Each structure stands twice: as structure tokens, then as C-alpha cells.
Structure 1
Amino acid sequence: MLKNYCVLFLLISTLFACSDEDKNTLMIVPLPQYVEELPGQFEITKKTQLFVHDQIVKYIAQTLSDKIESTSHFKLSFSELYPENNYVTFLVDTTLQLTDEGYVLEVSESGVEIKGKDMAGVFYGLQTLLQLLPTEVESPKFVQRMKWVVPFVKIKDEPRFKWRGMHLDVCRHFVPVENIKKHLDMMAMVKLNTFHWHLTEDQGWRIEIKQYPKLTEIGSRRIEGDGSEYGGFYTQEQIKEIVAYATERNITVVPEIELPGHALAALAAYPEYSCTGGPFKVRNTWGVESNVYCAGKEATFTFLENIIEEVVELFPSPYFHIGGDECPKDRWKECSLCQKRIKDEGLKDEHELQSYFVKRIEKVLLKHGKKMIGWDEILEGGLAESAAVMSWRGEEGGIEAANQGHDVVMTPGNWCYLDHYQGDHRVEPVAIGGYTPLEEVYSYDPVPDHLREDKKHHILGTQGNVWTEYMYTPELVEYRVYPRILALAEVNWTAKEQRDYDSFIYRLDNLHRRMDMHNVNYHIPLPEGPVDKMVFVDNIRIEFSNTWNLRMYYTTDGSKPTEASNLYQKPLIFATNKTIKIATVLNTGKLSPARTIRLVKSEYIDAAKSETTKPGLVENYTVGHFKSSEELDSISDWTERINPMKPIKGMKRDGHEGESASVFTGYLEVPEDGIYEFSTNLDQFYITNQLLIDNNGEVKRFSRNNSTIALRKGKHPVKLVYIKTIKGGWPQAWNGPQVQFRLWGDDEFTTTSEEMYSH
């Protein structure tokens, strides 16, 4: 009889001492529902024959043949008759007592048999077989003397949810076709079946629409804060190519065309469909845009209907995503045509106007046989009758929609937003914010406990949302996505009571090796703890940790750490200057990038003897576009004023107007003797006439260059260099200049205030 995997895990946990080849056994993600492991193994050789009961699944069998051939240079042949032994067979069996996409996989001395409830089930049976084979089956290169062995096993498996997805925003930053295919390959490997493709935004229109060529001629390009042009879009032929590639991997591609908000790129191309008539520029900063489609013009709906007619022809998906989120009502309140629409249709307010807008688009989609899905804001003013909802602002919207009888994809930010930090923001690449480490993602359950029992069937599943504001390259996208999307794959597929985080982390090593074969730039937790520069007076004790509790190796001689270096086991104590390089290592032997921490022995720096009588700092500012603080050295046109470090208003976010630079000077009052850690979003921060923090070249969304200094109580001279510009989509003037400090070892930072400064 088949055994529950909870029993099986007790058996495989004893395999840690086995060879790497043995450790591949049953290291499957997502975890199958039922497994029975048997003694022995079957070897696929050049004499092994493939057999398909149904020609419609032959392409699935061909996938196995192609992978073996590319790595071993022998080709598996197909048999016309069912072989008696040494076979791999593929069969659709609709009588299986499984849900759709379920499968049975049996490996014995005779061969491998895969039965699927449907074609998808056969495909997923193959994915499990591939994970049972040595990781080299994913290699793009020839592998010498490889034995393709599979353990004897019986697996009966089916998914928990229907919608197992990954969302990708290609508007903030464009993702090339080949990189999207890489994501689709990884999705297929872990049985994800829905690719939600976010194609239009304020910052870029990425899909060719033949009837409206200016959408890509104008709407796909923006002028960045540094004056460079950024752009990219997919032709309709490329769209078809990606959809076909996904279909072969049992992945449905759901397009998203944003409306009625997040439409500035479209309005830059066709301003006549706005309330004001423009002109507009494609937005080069992140955030919510107030200019949206005009709901009072009939021409707006004709425009959108024509776009939809072209898009639906490219995507066979039953669902069509219309966005519907973050639509400010400011323009509608001021627009006479929108107000007339509200009056003529008997609507209460602008929220009901949004509902009217969405319901009109729903009728267009129904005419094309499509189901509408949108973010939970489409609940505002009343939900369209056939609509499904993606609940992102928590779970409340999803619960409300499900209770109304609508299908729901649960994707709340606390668990499913893969643009959040997955480690300490001081050491990780800059992100939008939030903190969602791997364990938090894995802990999510898409069915809320307080949802009514008779409504739980409306929860279709969940997905990982990948918003790319701060993912400037395809490699950074991969760094944010993997392995967190793999955790969500198991959340979606495996029964809640069978999931175990420690087991998942152990099995993840198998996928780490496979991602290496696909050249995926996945995240390895970085060593966390001290900042990059640590000063001390007598001696210093420093501790390191990482989010997965992995081993860490370090050096103190400037060399790059390896597994032959010092193993970090307990806090380190030093009494002299040192440079520590430290890295985290996976069980596969792959190391994270090394962090470098400078330990500098120092004396306390005495406070200045100068008397100051006036609060605040002296500001010298100059108007202009500057990329770095070095450019300020040649500027002679400065204006002086007293500015108490309050946010500087007035910068327009869609261009260079209002840009300036400021240099603040004066003194900062330090409350007591101590080692202080400083943090800032400034370009440069000087104290006691030394450059303590240099953020030149950084996107200063969050400070990532904190540093320490030993200071005596009293007033210390400071200089703050602050460039008000747009860097990487982030307007520096958003929060104004900020400096924070804390005694080393304290939990909380203090934000400097006017009262702490003087001149």
C-alpha cells in the first residue's frame, strides 16, 4: 500500500550521509501526495524504449528523449508495441481516481509507467520522473559516463489547487523573450501552470497593437532620470512564440491590460482618451499616476475594445486580466464628461463609475468568451457578475468576493510579493520594501480559516507576484523570484498537512543543482549582522547569521572564502584591525557572494569646541541636473538659506524640472559617548570631517551603506550632500533628506531633528 510522505520523510532523513547521487532520491518539489519507496533502481539506457498509448502525448515522451540525447548523445526510440521490459510508457487514463492534472508514476525492474488523468497529468508525471533522475538530465552539455538511474517507487499525486501561478511585470523593466522562456521552464519543473503577464503600465506599454502603432512607438519608451532612453516591447509574433512555448509546458498565459488606471503609457501615445487631453510623457518614476482613462468618453471604450480584440486572438487563456487597481479618481471628479456619465447612469460617485467602467469591459470580454479577472479594487462600487478577483491588499477582498460566489486567487502582499526583501536590506540589493523571507512564503495557506466552509471551493489557488520597479536586470528578477516561487509551488500543489519547511529546505538542494544547469541567478542568503565598517575602541565582538541557518565560512587575510576556510561557529572577537570576508554555503557547495567587513580600531573623537547659537543647518543649494556629488565640485553658483532638514517639495516626477543639489553644514549634537551607527538616504554624509557614508551611484530608496564611528558626547561638525534627482525610478525628493543614528547594539534608530542640529 502507498504510504503518506510524512512517514517517508523519516526514512529519507537518514540519507544525509549518502552520496550526492543517492541524495537525489525522492528530493522532489513540490512534494507528492503519496509515495512508496521500494528497494532497487531502474536504469534508462540506449536500449530503453518509449511507448505512448496515445499519440497526443508523444511530445511529452519526446521531451524525455531530447533531454537524454542532449546530455548522453544517445536517442531513445519509440516502440509500436507495448514492450515487455526496459520501457518508459506514457498513458492518459481518465478512469484514475484523481483530480484533473493528477498522475500515477511507478518504477519497477521492468521500467517506468506514467499514467495521467489527462495530458497535464502525464506531463507532471514526467516532471517528477525528471526530478528523480540525476540532476545532469537538465544539463545543456554532454555528460560523460552518466548513468540514468531511477529508484523503484510508486507515486500517486494530484494538485491541491487549480491556479498555481507566477506573475511578471515587464513594464517597469523589460524581460527579453529568452529570459521569459527560462522562467517557463522553471515553472513547468515545479508544476506551476499559470503565467500572469503584466503587459501595460504607466512606465511602459509592452505589447504590439497593430491598429494603434503609437502604443509601442511612443508608449514603450521612457526617458529615465539620467536622460537615457529605456524601452522594449513584444511583437505579436513574439507573443505567439511565448504562448506556444508555455502551452507545451502545460502553462496558461493570462494577459493583463491595465484599466482604467495605470494607463499613462497609453495616454502618452493617445492623449485623446484621457480627461484632460494631455500632453503626457511615459512615467519614469514609480508610484500611482493620477491621469487615467476618461470614463465619460465613448471613444475610450471603443479604443479599449479594439485593443482587446487584438489581444484575445493571441491568448487562448479563458481568463483576461484587466488590472483595475490603484485608480485615482481626481481627474474624474474634475472632468465634466465623467460627471455627466455619473449623472446619466444614475451612479452614486466615482467608485461606482469605476464599477461601471469595469462592467462595460466585462461585456466586451464575454463577447469573446473570456472570463474577467482583476485586482481586488474591482470590488469597489459593485463587482461585475462573471469576474474573478485577485486579492492582494490582504485577504479581506478575496473573502468578500468568495462569499459573493466569485472565484478568487489569493495573493496577499505579506506572503506572495516577491519584490519584497528576503534578507537584511542593508546587505541585499535595493528593493521596494517589505520583508518576506523564504520561510514566510512557505508558511502561507491560501484558504483563510475564517472563510465559510461552503465558499472555500472558490479559492482557485495563489501566485507569486513579481513587480519589477527595482529589478533593473533579468538577473535581478531571477534573484528575487528563486527560490521563493518554488516555495509557493509546493504551497499550491501539496496538501497543507503534509508540508514541512525543514523537509522543503532539504529537498531544495536538488533544485539548486537543476537551476545551476539552467543558469538561474537564484538567491543564496547572505551573512547578516555587522555593517561593512565597524569601529571599536578596545576590542569588538561580532556575530553573523543568515535566514536559512546555513553554514558560513570566513577569512581574515583578504582572500575569498571557500569551504576550506574558517567555519563560523560562534561570535568572533578581535582586538586589532581586520578585514573579514564571509560567505554562506549551500549544501550543494555553492557559496553566496562574499561580504567584506572592515574592523577599525579607533579612539573616541572629541566634540568640537565651537559655540553655536542657531538651530538647524546652513544649506547651500544650486539648481540643475547632477548624477553624482563629484559634479558639485565645479559649481560656483550657490544660494544660501537656513533649512531645518525638512523635505524639499516641488520636484516634478516626470522630468528634470525642479532638480537641484544641496550641501548642508553645521553641527550635530551627540547625546553620550559611544560607538554610533549612522544610516542615511543622502548622497554623502560627513561627520568630524570624514566621509562616513557614500551612497554615490546607489538608488537611495533605503540606506545600504550604514557605517559606525566612535564619538564623544557633544557637538560634531557635519556635512550633508543631497542631490534631488531621479535615480532608477526613485525620486530622491520623495522623503527629503534623512539621517538616522543609534548606539551600536541598540534596536531602534533615532531620526535627526532640527533641535539636534545647530550652526
Structure 2
Amino acid sequence: MVETTLPEVNQIADYLTSVLGQQLGKELPLKRQGQRGRGNYIALRLNPDLEVGPEAYKIQITRGKVECVAKTPAGLFWAAQTLRQLTYLHAPANQIWLPGGEIQDEPAYKWRGLLLDVSRHFMSKEFIKRYIDLLALYKLNQLHLHLTDDQGWRIEIKKYPALTQKGAWRTEPNGTQHGGFYTQADIREIVAYARARYITVVPEIDAPGHVQAALAAYPELSCTGGPFEVATAAGVHPDILCAGNEKTYAFLKDVLTEVAALFPGQYLHIGGDEAPKERWRVCAKCQGRIRAENLPDEEALQGYFTKRVSDMLTNLHKVPVAWDEVLKGGAPSGTRVQVWHGQKQLKEALQLGLPAITSFRSFFYFDLNSGITNLEKVYQAPVSPSTLSKEEQRLLLGAEAALWTEGVPQERVDEMVFPRLLAFSENVWHGKTTQPDLFADFHRRLQQHYPYLDKVGVDYGFETWPVQFVPTYTPASQTFALSLQPGLQNVSLYYSLNGSEPTLSSQKYEGNPILFSTSTTVKVAPYKNGKKLGETAKASFEKHLALYKRAGLKYGYHPVYAAGGEMALTDGILGGEDYRKGFWQGVEKENLEATLDLEKEIPLQEISIAFLQDVNSWIFLPTKVAFYVAGSDQVFKEVPVATAGQSGKTEKPYRLVFSAQGKGKPVRYVKVVAVNRRVCPPGHPGAGGAAYIMADELIVK
């Protein structure tokens, strides 16, 4: 029953009747104001005099009646989602039984969002609408669409047709073509669909960096004139929009005018992240602009650029949102800052009086492996850090999770987003997640919720590492004993020890440790209901003389990149080229200095340790590696280092082994010192930010 004539509330009633009817498998009658209702019923009622927030609601369940009351239609819509959550496991044709009682609820934050990167991998219009429905169920109210980047331009701009004719398509290294875009009619349909579910779609047109797709279509907007192709590789590309060229600003004004007309929400995201300045430093037009505007450097030139773009949005009655890099050159007043680097940048934005959105990479980036950014971490991450003052807290709009899709096509989106989105939605709704018992309660409820995700076809992934390898080593028998832990309940693990790909015909892990006594590569495939879930996990074990000897670290490892903890450098597991697999141990800004006691003198033949470089993840090779050895007298002497290969400037991750020869001399203690460059170098998108060293197994032979 609807106790109002407002169109918005009638629309919510139609929506609720439809979704509950679908769950029950039968049509439910709808009575509007002035029509008499009989039997059990749900009443929707507005009360603008309620002394609550705009999205608050109250549900009272008594015999034969469920009454939903809110101050605004948005509150009533969230009440409808709560009713859906109370009833979604009822089978078709079943009656719904609800316990009597009262619910009073409202969100802690007004910005509760998810970013979908549709540039790197295009997602269909119907897929986007499906995600809008999922966001609505979990009471998230912002969908941030990352529409443009180096790998594709995804929105039709009528004045610049080449943006989609050329910029929306790329040819992959294997010769296949990937692409797609949304017509303006598609965008209107998506926006209307979201608006009916009280979700605002926030478009992002990234500038001045991440514009390779736009430059492929209009190379004259660059500093060099091109030519360019739509990028296939992830990372940060040096060619960005020319800030000294007036054609750039005319282009952006035209584009933003068309975009603003398609999105009725107040916000429009202008990017601003990862814009390398190397082209600007040698561009005559950019240098001329710096002189004409009396700017001190290229960072200030980006500040000038951001101010001009922000003014365009102000004239279009839009509020600019930008990534936290815009703080370096000066963010215009009124800008909403989306903070992804960390608490330092959040504090800086808020102290400038700029409203901010928390999107910390280390907590809320769902492109990171579910082991690094696991379910519990997402749930307990503070949206509002305790270091903020009350005034700063008032400026904090809320939080947004992000799925960047460089390596995530549409068919893998579910497994990256779920179940972590459930932890995020609860975190940002009530903002009280730091108590351990709250997560335990959430985790218990989540297990009961998985059948619903199965029912509606959400191909969710893991809560933590897909497979956690827990090895031990027995020196007496020189045997590894490997235990496996799946990252999701009700998952079966199948494994091989001979390098073959595990299948349902392979050995099934039954809980007993897997034993092996030689250097071995173990492959493990998770299966759920007979279907493979995610990728095959792999761990290579190297047998050597320092296994499970404690490598004392002078400086602690970063808790996010702990790998195997205190034994990570001697547990026998070798890391590959992906730090996200959890086998690399990371040190932030400090040197890696580890000392190993072999417990007795041995004739040393070789020491080696591997380090990782992944510049796009702020991970760099040490600037220097030194080995020292000592006998029982603990008098250390340096031994010469030989590297297997040389470091390079490639953006692709790679592993480099450093080694030293022992020549059979008796040694008890081994020390390795790897010098951290401490901060990202000039020209890097994270220039001045903390640099990481990632270390692998410390091997003694």
C-alpha cells in the first residue's frame, strides 16, 4: 500500500512489488492512496518532519503489516532494499515470514560508490545495468564510470566522431581487436536506470594524462603531434594533452559540454592522475604557457590546467572531482578530491577545505589480488581515519571502491568485486567496522548470503588468497610438508607435483599435508560444484641449506606485503613476477637488511636472493646489494656480488637474482643489505612517494 501520491514513491512501490513478486514467483497486488487494503500488506509512507538524515528510514513489523517510513523517497528506497535482504532466500511460491520488530537505520556517509573501469575492458550496457541493480541492493549510491583512458574512449562525442571511430578500438598483440563504446542514447538509458534506483552515475573524462586513445584520434592535441595508436599495454604513458595549446582547452570544453548534458548528477570527474611531465618540459608551447602565466614549474602548469577545466565545469553547473595528484599543482576551491594514495593526501585535501572521498589503493582497490586486499581488510579499513579532526570529518564525503580492469575482462568482474563489495558496502554504510567481533558477525552472515549470490548468477571470487600455501620443513627427514587452505568455503582443491595442469582427475587435497623431498613446483586448482574457480595457483619450492632459518630483519616488512611473515625469506617458496601472489616480502622506504644464522659452520658455495621490479606498482630494484659472511666469530667480511642479468627501464615486471660465490669457505652467518631508493624518482607518476623493495628467497648452497 502506498500512502502518498508522489510519483517517486509510487515508482518505489512499483519497483518493490516487482522484485518481491519475482522472488516469490507470483504477482503481488498494489494499492495506492485512497484504495483500501485487505490482508497482510506493506505500507510505504513519507514523513518530512522526521528528525533524521535524508537517507534514513524506519521499518516496523507487526502482525499482518510492515510499515516503512522515511523523510525522503531515497530513504524509502533503502527501506525497500532492506525488505529485499530480509526475504531474498524465500523460494518461489513460498510465503514470506518476517520476525516482528523495528529497524531504524541510516548511512554514516553520503558517498558510497564503486568505480568500474570500462576503458581498459569494455562492459556492455546490460552488464552495467546489472551492476546498478547489485549496487542498489547493497545500498551503494554512486557508480563511477571511468570512460576514457589510454586503452579506449568509450563515450560518443558528436563533435569529435573519431574519438569512438578510432579511439574506442585497439588491436591486441595477438591480432584480435577489443573495443566498444556507449552511444549518447545508451548513456541516457543507463543514467535513467540508475536514477530510478537512487544511484548517481559519475562520468570520468581523464585529463591531462591517460589520453592515448584520444590522441590516436586527434594527435594535434599532444605536444609532439604523434602519430599515436590506442594503447594495448597498461601503465603510464608519456604523451599527454598539451597544456600550452589552446586547441586542447577548446576540445575539452566541447567534450565536457556534451558529457555534462548526458549526466544530470552534480559531479563530473576530470581525472588528473598519473600525468608525467616529460613532454611538457621540452614543449615550446607548454614552456611558453609557464612563462606567460608566471608559473614556477610543470606541476604548477597542471594546476593551471586543472583550474581552467574546473572553470568549464562551473559554467556547466557541475562540481569537479579529481584524483589526489591535483593537490601537487594546487586544486581549485570547490574540487572534490578522490584520494587513492593514502592518509597523507587525505589530510592535505581536508586541511585545504576540499571535500574528499576515500579510495585508498591499499584497502579499496579490487583489482588487487583478494589475498592482498582481503575481505577482512576491506571490512575493517577506516573510511575516516582517527587522525582527522571533527571539521575534517565533516568534509569527508564517504568512500569508493575501485575496479581497474587492465587485466580484468567483463567475464571476470564478478570474481574481483564479490564478495569484497559486500564488506565495503557494510563498512561505508555504518562506518563502525574496527571491532573484530563485527567482522566475525559479518563473516557468519556472509556464508548464509552466498546461496543468494549463486541464485542470481554472481560468479563471486575468494575472500582471501585463492589458495594459501602453508609449508613446513623437517630437517631430519629433509622433507617439505605442505598444507593448503582454500580462500572460500565449499571449494575443493586439486593439485599436481609434476608441472601438469590440475583437473578434476588430479589428486584431490583431503586435508593431510602433501609431502615431497626435492625442489618441486606445486600447482593447485580450486573447483566449486565441478567448475574451476579462478586461476591455478602455483608455488615453486627450492631446497637449500637455509630453509626455515630465521632471517632477522633490521627494519620491519610492510604488513600488507608480509608474504610468509618472519620465515618468508627462507620458507623455500620462490616468487614469480607478480607480487600480488603473496610470495614477495616488501619493505617500504627502508633498506632490506637481513642476517641469517645457519647454526653451524658450513662450506659455502653460493648465496643468492631475488628482487622484483614493477615500476607501475612503486616497486624498484635496490640501488645496491651487498653480501657479508662470517664464521662463528661473527666477524663479517663482504663478498663480491654478481647479478644474473641487468636492471632495465622496462615497465613490465621482472625478477632479478643477485648472487655471490663462497668458494667452499666455512660460514655460519650470512648478511644481505639491499639499499632502497626510498622514494619514486623524478618523472615517475609517484615521484617523491614511498618506494618499495620486494625480496624473495635467501638461498644458501
TM over 0.5: yes
- 1:490-539 Cα shifts (integer Å, max 9, x gaps): 111114169610111112134322222321111135332169xxxx9886
Residue identity in the other structure for 1:481: V
Tell whether the 8 Å contact from 2:212 to 2:240 is kept in structure 1 after alignment. Answer: yes
Residues of 2 paired with 1:316 and 1:597: CA distance? 45
- 1:261-311 Cα shifts (integer Å, max 9, x gaps): 111111111111111111111111111111111111111101110000100
Structure 1 residues 176, 752: closer, same or farther in 2, change over 3 A?
Answer: farther
- 1:320-373 Cα shifts (integer Å, max 9, x gaps): 100011111111111111111111112111111111111111111011110111
Q: Cα distance, 1:70 vs. partner?
A: 3.1
Match of 2:679 in 1: none
Residue identity in the other structure for 2:319: K
Q: Cα distance, 1:455 vs. partner?
A: 2.2
Residues of 1 paired with 2:191 and 2:60: CA distance? 32
Residues of 2 paired with 1:284 and 1:537: CA distance? 50
- The counterpart of 1:462, out of the listed 374, 378, 399, is 399
Q: Cα distance, 1:113 vs. partner?
A: 0.9
Give yes or no for the alignment of 1:116 onto 2:70: yes
- Unaligned 5+ segments in structure 1 are 1-48, 137-142, 424-434, 605-673, 682-699, 707-712, 717-730, 742-746
Residue identity in the other structure for 1:213: P
Match of 2:324 in 1: 376
Residues of 2 paired with 1:390 and 1:579: CA distance? 41
Tell whether the 8 Å contact from 1:161 to 1:460 is kept in structure 2 after alignment. Answer: yes
Give yes or no for the alignment of 1:391 onto 2:319: no
Q: Cα distance, 1:396 vs. partner?
A: 1.5
- The counterpart of 1:173, out of the listed 97, 117, 121, is 121
Structure 1 residues 510, 493: closer, same or farther in 2, change over 3 A?
Answer: same
Give yes or no for the alignment of 1:354 onto 2:302: yes
- The counterpart of 1:60, out of the listed 12, 27, 31, is 12
Residues of 1 paired with 2:320 and 2:300: CA distance? 18
Tell whether the 8 Å contact from 1:215 to 1:266 is kept in structure 2 after alignment. Answer: yes
- The counterpart of 2:455, out of the listed 477, 499, 517, is 517
Match of 2:426 in 1: 490
Output the TM-score relative to the length of structure 1: 0.67
Residues of 1 paired with 2:580 and 2:345: CA distance? 30
Q: Cα distance, 1:235 vs. partner?
A: 0.9
- The counterpart of 2:375, out of the listed 413, 421, 438, is 438
Residue identity in the other structure for 2:204: E
Greater displacement, 307-316 / 181-190: 181-190
Residue identity in the other structure for 2:652: W
- Correspondence list, 1:228-377, <5 A: 228-377=176-325
Residues of 1 paired with 2:122 and 2:348: CA distance? 34
- 1:46-72 Cα shifts (integer Å, max 9, x gaps): xxx666564431121112222243344
Tell whether the 8 Å contact from 1:527 to 1:552 is kept in structure 2 after alignment. Answer: no
Residue identity in the other structure for 2:385: P
SS at match of 2:406: coil
Residues of 2 paired with 1:702 and 1:307: CA distance? 37
Tell whether the 8 Å contact from 2:571 to 2:697 is kept in structure 1 after alignment. Answer: no
Tell whether the 8 Å contact from 2:81 to 2:137 is kept in structure 1 after alignment. Answer: yes
Residues of 2 paired with 1:93 and 1:110: CA distance? 22
- Unaligned 5+ segments in structure 2 are 497-501, 545-569, 585-602, 607-648, 660-693
Residues of 2 paired with 1:602 and 1:306: CA distance? 59
Tell whether the 8 Å contact from 2:146 to 2:204 is kept in structure 1 after alignment. Answer: yes
- The counterpart of 1:81, out of the listed 17, 35, 38, is 35
SS at match of 2:258: helix
Residues of 2 paired with 1:520 and 1:362: CA distance? 39
Tell whether the 8 Å contact from 1:561 to 1:594 is kept in structure 2 after alignment. Answer: no
Residues of 2 paired with 1:578 and 1:283: CA distance? 35
- Correspondence list, 1:746-757, <5 A: 749-750=696-697
Structure 1 residues 228, 457: closer, same or farther in 2, change over 3 A?
Answer: same
Tell whether the 8 Å contact from 1:416 to 1:465 is kept in structure 2 after alignment. Answer: yes
Greater displacement, 522-531 / 412-421: 522-531
Structure 1 residues 268, 53: closer, same or farther in 2, change over 3 A?
Answer: same
Give yes or no for the alignment of 1:70 onto 2:22: yes
- The counterpart of 2:484, out of the listed 537, 540, 544, is 544
Q: Cα distance, 1:125 vs. partner?
A: 0.2
Match of 1:419 in 2: 367
Residue identity in the other structure for 1:105: I
Structure 1 residues 385, 738: closer, same or farther in 2, change over 3 A?
Answer: same
Match of 1:453 in 2: 390
Higher relative contact order (CA 8 A, sep 6+): 1
Corresponding pairs, count: 567
Structure 1 residues 399, 82: closer, same or farther in 2, change over 3 A?
Answer: farther
Q: Cα distance, 1:458 vs. partner?
A: 0.2
Residues of 2 paired with 1:421 and 1:555: CA distance? 21
SS at match of 2:322: strand
- 1:209-244 Cα shifts (integer Å, max 9, x gaps): 000000011111122222322211111111111111
SS at match of 1:168: strand
SS at match of 2:468: coil
Match of 1:97 in 2: 51
Residue identity in the other structure for 1:256: E
Residues of 1 paired with 2:325 and 2:521: CA distance? 54
- 1:638-667 Cα shifts (integer Å, max 9, x gaps): xxxxxxxxxxxxxxxxxxxxxxxxxxxxxx
Match of 2:443 in 1: 505
Structure 1 residues 279, 751: closer, same or farther in 2, change over 3 A?
Answer: farther
Structure 1 residues 590, 70: closer, same or farther in 2, change over 3 A?
Answer: farther
Residues of 2 paired with 1:600 and 1:299: CA distance? 54
Q: Cα distance, 1:84 vs. partner?
A: 6.2
SS at match of 1:173: coil
SS at match of 2:54: coil
SS at match of 2:12: helix
- 1:170-209 Cα shifts (integer Å, max 9, x gaps): 1111111122122111110110000111001111111110
SS at match of 1:492: helix
Residues of 2 paired with 1:169 and 1:420: CA distance? 14
Residues of 2 paired with 1:155 and 1:114: CA distance? 9
Residues of 1 paired with 2:224 and 2:494: CA distance? 62
- 1:7-40 Cα shifts (integer Å, max 9, x gaps): xxxxxxxxxxxxxxxxxxxxxxxxxxxxxxxxxx
Tell whether the 8 Å contact from 1:102 to 1:158 is kept in structure 2 after alignment. Answer: yes
Report percent identity of matched pairs: 35
Tell whether the 8 Å contact from 2:370 to 2:462 is kept in structure 1 after alignment. Answer: no
Match of 2:411 in 1: 475
Residues of 2 paired with 1:209 and 1:580: CA distance? 48
Output the TM-score relative to the length of structure 2: 0.73
- 1:420-461 Cα shifts (integer Å, max 9, x gaps): 1112xxxxxxxxxxx211111111112122222222100000
Residues of 2 paired with 1:173 and 1:580: CA distance? 29
Residues of 2 paired with 1:488 and 1:283: CA distance? 32
